[in-house]
Structure 1
Amino acid sequence: MIWRPTLGFAFSHPAHFIALGFGTGLAPAAPGTVGTLLAFPLFVLLDAWLPPLALFGLVVVFFGVGIWACERTGRDLGIADHGAMNWDEVVAMLLVLLLSPADWAWWGFAFVAFRFFDVVKPPPIRHIDRSVKGGLGVMFDDIVAAFYTLLLVALVKQILG
């Protein structure tokens, strides 16, 4: 049982490397925020190469891979939803970036909103976080936070015209 994963742990199995956000989960502070930030360059790179529908499909694949990776990594760490596992934030923020207005101001707003919903966990996010177990639980509560973020972005965009 490992309480604080190391670089060696991250590279010891592909699931660990993925669940730890390609190593960003090893950040000494705020690994969830660091993982969320990783989504930005990843999105810009993928968006330049893939049409939106293919990118959406890739996000769905990343979600499925995340269930497996987080399940395995949580088991190996002995903590089902270890704070260093931030692939859930990466995938959720990719979804937010894909479905938000393609503008850095909106993306900045969406980043702050997503971090708020992910940390505060308003209903039903907290319930999902506590009741859905394993890799699915790790991944799914962040997808719900992403939907809250997208709703807020749409509402603010509508208000601002």
Structure 2
Amino acid sequence: MSFWHPAALLATWGGSGLLPRAPGTWGSLFTLPVAWLIADRWGGEALFIVSVIVFFAGLWASAQYLKYSKSKDPSAIVIDETAGQLLTLALIPVDLWWYAGGFLLFRVADIFKPWPASWVEKSLDGALGVMADDIFAAVYAIAVLVGVHLLIAS
């Protein structure tokens, strides 16, 4: 598949998944300015909607990319990290420290994959298997961030 194919561009989040070392971290990192722009201009609700759209677009892009890959979950596919990172940031304030915390917590949850994220990754095949575990990682990160936000607000 050509790098310029729309599915390849989306699956690799503009090529960030092709960078050496920790492509998922690069994909998440390159998602931050996009998330900031959307949330700052249109709010967290818009960012949530975009995360859902990116998830479904990611299913399509991942399915296309997987046809040309020999791996079940190629590291170059980072649209799953993009969807999860967007979802994580949708429920927190647009603030440098909150976004840094959201980035770090999402990456930790995505890398260590606590149950049931680990089960989802191993049990689901194809594009859904690629995408779904990152949504669970986002839920874990959101739970911690919302808990911290509630503690600070009270």
TM-score by length of 1: 0.87
1:1-161 correspondence runs (5 A): 9-11=2-4, 13-160=5-152, 161=154
Distance 1:119 1:41, change over 3 A: same
Q: CA deviation at 1:90?
A: 0.9
In structure 2, give the amino acid aligned to 1:61. I
Secondary structure of 1:92 counterpart: helix
Distance 1:52 1:120, change over 3 A: closer
In structure 1, give the amino acid aligned to 2:98. W
Secondary structure of 2:134 counterpart: helix
Q: Percent identity?
A: 36
Q: CA deviation at 1:71?
A: 1.3
Q: After superposition, what is the alpha-carbon deviation per residue over 1:96-122, rounded to whole angstroms, capped at 9, x for unaligned?
A: 111112221111111111111100011
In structure 2, give the amino acid aligned to 1:112. L
Comparing 146-155 with 97-106, which one deviates more in the overlay?
Answer: 97-106
C-alpha separation between the residues in 2 aligned to 1:157 and 1:101? Answer: 9
Residues 88 and 138 in structure 1, CA contact (< 8 A), matched pair in contact too: yes
In structure 2, give the amino acid aligned to 1:9. S
Count of matched residue pairs: 153
TM-score by length of 2: 0.91
C-alpha separation between the residues in 2 aligned to 1:150 and 1:109? Answer: 10
Q: Which runs of 5+ in 2 are unaligned?
A: none
CA RMSD in angstroms comes to 1.7
Comparing 48-57 with 91-100, which one deviates more in the overlay?
Answer: 48-57
Q: CA deviation at 1:49?
A: 4.4
Segments of 4+ moved more than 6 angstroms: none
C-alpha separation between the residues in 2 aligned to 1:113 and 1:51? Answer: 21
